[in-house]
């Protein structure tokens, strides 16, 4: 009679640095501490879509709760505040030079990268504007380019405009980025 000896491979189990439970292989990308599924925060580029589209470096990976509070939480709040401010940016297109004549143009134009959508390009430009501390865009131009990708013709959009500061009360009823 042959006996088959099963060798049990014991997985190296570490305890979670937050709750001391079994960590099962998850590690915090910031402090390298083991972390269990319940205590882990899974952060990815999807949590910062506009920032990523604008080429910013964002927190990415698994974080323990301590590192989440130290690094990610404030980054998420700052990102959300910038997105909200971007949605409130006043927009004057280049064709509206008459309406925007009173706005001082002192800054250099901001420019987005190419994106597959007109609205995304506009939001990117507004996001860059809000992050630079301005609440208005003047002389905005949206440019589209057609490119053939994998046999299909696709449009790529980019936006350019000059950031400016305006008194919101003075220009109510202005269109927002869209």
**In the complex, which residues of this chain contact Zn ion (CB under 5 A)?**
16, 18-19, 21, 28, 30-31, 33, 36, 39, 64, 67
Pull the structure tokens for residue 64: 């323990």
Nearer to Zn ion, 20 or 144 (CB): 20
Q: Do 28 and 35 form a contact (C-beta atoms < 8 A)?
A: yes
CB of 125 to Zn ion, least distance (A): 35
Shortest distance in whole angstroms from residue 31 CB to Zn ion: 3
Give 31 or 53: the residue with its C-beta nearer to Zn ion.
Answer: 31
Question: Which residues, including other chains, have CB under 8 Å from residue 77's CB and lie 6 or more apart?
Answer: none
Tell me how many helices (H) and strands (E) the chain has. 4, 6
Beta carbon nearer to Zn ion, 21 or 49: 21
Are 156 and 149 in contact, with CB atoms under 8 Å apart? no
73-87 and 118-131 are packed helices; what angle lies between their axes, rounded to 10 degrees? 110
Q: Which is nearer to Zn ion, 31 or 76 (CB)?
A: 31
- Report the nearest approach of Zn ion to the CB of residue 61 (Å): 10
Cβ 66 to Zn ion shortest distance, Å: 5
């Amino acid at each position: 009679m042959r006996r088959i000896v099963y060798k049990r491979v014991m997985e190296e189990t570490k305890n979670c640095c937050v709750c001391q439970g079994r960590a099962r292989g998850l590690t915090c990308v910031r402090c390298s501490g083991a972390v269990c599924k319940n205590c882990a925060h899974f952060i990815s580029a999807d949590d910062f879509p506009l920032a990523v589209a604008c080429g910013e470096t964002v927190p990415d990976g698994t974080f323990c709760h301590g590192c989440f509070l130290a690094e990610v939480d404030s980054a998420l709040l700052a990102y959300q505040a910038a997105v909200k401010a971007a949605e409130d940016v006043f927009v004057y297109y280049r064709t509206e030079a008459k309406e925007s004549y009173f706005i001082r143009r002192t800054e250099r134009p901001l420019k987005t990268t190419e994106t597959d959508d007109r609205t995304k390009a506009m939001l990117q430009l507004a996001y860059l504007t809000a992050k630079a501390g301005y609440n208005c865009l003047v002389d905005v131009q949206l440019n589209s380019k057609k490119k053939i990708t994998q046999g299909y013709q696709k449009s790529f959009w980019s936006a350019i405009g000059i950031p400016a500061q305006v008194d919101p009360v003075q220009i109510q009823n202005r269109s927002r980025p869209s």
